[in-house]
A and B are shown apart, each in its own frame.
Chain A
Amino acid sequence: MERQLILRGLLAGGAGGLVAFVFARIFAEPQIQAAIDYESGRSAAQQTLDKAAGLPVEAAEPDLFSRTLQANVGIGLGMILFGIAMGALFAVAYTICLGRVGKLRPRTLAMLVAVGGFLGIYFVPFLKYPANPPAIGHEETIHDRGNLYLLMVFCSLVLLVGAVALGKRLTPRLGNWNATLLAIAAYVVVIGVLMAVLPSLGQLAANVQEYGRHATETPLPLTDDKGTIVYPGFDADRLYAFRLYSVGAQVLLWGVIGLVFGLLADRLLRPRTATPVASTV
């Protein structure tokens, strides 16, 4: 049975990844291209400034893959493989939850696990360390940023599991509704404290040293030595659109996983000798 569930998880994940890829190709790619154009324009302006100041100018590295390849095949493969991986994790979580987290129909459980995956793996970490388009992010902080992001993902997942366990434990005493509310409240409080304690990306030592105190690594306007702006800061609307679409893609990904897996699991788990009574959906 677990093998059949895992297979269905992979299928649902592939479907979710495919839908998220189509969405990304249409909505995210124009934003990514514009961000890369901003990055190129900015570094050209920086080079002009450096040249005028007599500083050494670094030559740009050649691209390993063309933009066309990255924006079509690369993002497609990345999104679909990510979907399959999430589908696999989803199936594992579903199999463990099955029959252990209360009386839920196969499809209801599928949607709840999908919501958990969306929140735990993507959205809660996103609230602290949101997705950034190219041009945002300083090379020298990638190690710290990577660690902080993974720590956030890990903690949000562990706390989510803890919240479910807490809810289960409180249910006999407080009833389903109150236990659920209390578990959610506990999760929000603990994750909120964690978010307050972890540093914002702009506050990393390397950033404070070079750019001063800022919340993020979003590029500020480029100024010459007199303080005149020679190149604008990163477009706020573009950043908003990119992040909104990023959330949209994950909603689609997890939504499709929940729906497709729910349908497949329902067929698999429904008793073989289904009586007409089973039609009370």
Chain B
Amino acid sequence: MSNLSAQTTVPTTTSTTIVLPVSKAVLWLVGTAVLALLAYYFIGVDQGAYSIFGKDMHIHEFVHDARHFLGFPCH
């Protein structure tokens, strides 16, 4: 506040001007998204509509309450 002249002369960037080059970050972004979707799948979907471990219900039963509460269809 003490430097009022600077406020008028320096254009204040109220927004960030950083744009990350997605092409360079693409491995990290895609990898993260895939892992996150895997977690989403195992918490919400596996051993319900689908199952990749056959007829085992351990994951489903362990996170059972969370699955209901997070909005996934459950058994």
In the bound complex, do residue B20 and residue A131 qualify as a contact, i.e. CB atoms below 8 Å apart? Answer: no
A85 x B7 contact (CB < 8 A): no
**Across the two chains, which residue of chain B brings its CB closest to A73?**
B62
- Looking at the assembled complex, report how far the CB atom of B47 sits from the nearest CB atom of chain A, in whole angstroms: 10
- The reply to whether the CB of A277 lies closer than 8 angstroms to some CB of chain B is yes
Contact of A277 among B10, B35, B63, B75 (CB under 8 A): B10
**Which one of A86, A91, A147, A276 contacts B6 once the chains associate, using CB atoms below 8 Å?**
A276
Query: In the assembled complex, which residues on chain A have CB atoms less than 8 Å from the CB atom of B43?
Result: 78, 81-82, 85
A74 touches B64 (CB 8 A): yes
B14 touches A103 (CB 8 A): yes
Contact A103 B15 (CB under 8 A): yes
Query: How many chain A residues touch B (Cβ–Cβ < 8 Å)?
Result: 72
Interface bits A217-231 vs B (CB < 8 Å: 1, else 0): 000000000000000
**A139, B39: Cα distance in complex, Å:** 24
Given the known inter-chain contacts A70-B62, A145-B49, A277-B3, please indicate yes or no for A95 contacting B40, CB distance below 8 A.
no
Question: B57–A64 contact, CB under 8 A?
Answer: yes
Q: A85-B40, A92-B29, A106-B16 are in contact. Are A64 and B58 (CB under 8 A)?
A: yes
Question: In chain B, residues 4-56, which have Cβ atoms closer than 8 Å to a Cβ of chain A?
Answer: 6-7, 10, 12-20, 22, 25, 28-29, 32-33, 35-37, 39-40, 43-45, 48-50
